[in-house]
Amino acid sequence: MDEPNTDVIQGTMDLLILKTLSLEPMHGFGIGRRIEQVSRGVFKVNPGSLLTALQRLERAGWLDAEWRQTDNARRAKYYTLTRAGRRQLDVETADWTRRATAVTRLLRSEA
């Protein structure tokens, strides 16, 4: 039996990262783990894709980053949402809601 696809839906990684960081600053591993936990395992985050997305969001000015010590005394890059990132989260949330509503309407329609 085939396993269900647990990849993050293309185009939603930015939204999931921004939402996760709206709660508190985190390092990359923590972001991926939080997304997997909150989605109850529906989404599995590929570390390479996550790193690429974090770099893109930082370049866009939506995230700030700084090196810090983790709870287990390792160095990790912690990401924080910027004011522009909060605005982008609002934009992406509205766009996702619009798209999800449209898909729901299509699934409920009768042929």
* pLDDT single digits (tens) 39-90: 999 999 999 999 999 999 999 999 999 999 988 889 999 999 999 999 999 9
Which structural domain, as residue segments, surrounds residue 92? 13-106
User: CA-to-CA distance for 70 and 78, rounded, in angstroms?
Assistant: 9
- How many structural domains are present in the chain? 1
Backbone angles phi, psi at 106, to 5 degrees: -65, -40
Specify the CATH number for the domain of residue 43: 1.10.10.10
pTM score: 0.87
Whether residue 38 lies inside any domain: the answer is yes
Whether residue 67 lies inside any domain: the answer is yes
Whether residue 3 lies inside any domain: the answer is no
Confidence of residue 110 (pLDDT cuts 50, 70, 90): confident
